[in-house]
Amino acid sequence: MAKGVALISHKEKIDTDTHTGEFMLTVFAALSQLEREQLKQRQREGIELAKAQGKYTGQKPIPTDWSRFGQLYGEWKAKHITGREFMRRMEMSANTFYRRVREYKLRHGITEQTSA
pLDDT tens per residue across span 50-108? 989 988 877 787 899 999 999 999 999 999 999 999 999 999 999 999 999 999 999 99
Q: Is residue 95 within 8 Å of 83, Cβ to Cβ?
A: no
Work out the pLDDT band at 45, boundaries 50, 70, 90.
very high
Residue 69 class from Cβ within 10 Å (0-12 exposed, 13-18 middle, 19+ buried)? Answer: buried
pTM: 0.50
Asked if 47 and 38 touch (Cβ cutoff 8 Å), the reply is no
The CA distance from 65 to 53, in Å, is 33
